[in-house]
Amino acid sequence: MEKQKITVRVAGKNYTLVSSDTPDYLRRVAALVDRRLKETELATGMPAYQGMALTCFNLADELLKARDENTELKRRLQAEACSGRSGAKSMEKGKEAER
């Protein structure tokens, strides 16, 4: 997809983004960031512009935890797939030995 410009509003300010992602996706991203900034503002009493760094840390924390969880799930799936294959091979060998 070709890159396009889209203007989104976050914390009362307009930002022009250039991306190959769809405008709907970028609006979703902007809405998430805006919502998290408002949550930080409500929780801390800081205005959005001061809470931006804290919001970035919180979003980065969630991203890293999700990546770690994804990595662990992939590892488990691979381990299960490998143990399933070795189990199937063992069963085949057992059947051959019976013959």
- 12-24 exposure pattern, b = at least 16 Cβ within 10 A, e = fewer: eeeeebeeeeeee
Name the residue range of residue 49's domain: 4-98
Number of domains in the chain: 1
Lowest pLDDT segment from 36-45, 56-65, 80-89: 80-89
Angstrom distances, CA of residue 20 to CA of 2, 24, 29, 81 = 5, 11, 14, 36
Task: Give the other-Cβ count within 10 Å of 46's Cβ.
Answer: 16
Q: Model confidence over 84-97: pLDDT tens digits?
A: 776 555 556 556 65
Which residue carries 């902007």 as its tokens? Answer: 30
In this prediction, residue 42 has a pLDDT band, given cuts at 50, 70 and 90, of: very high
Q: How many CB atoms lie within 10 A of CB 37?
A: 23
Q: Which pTM value belongs to this model?
A: 0.73
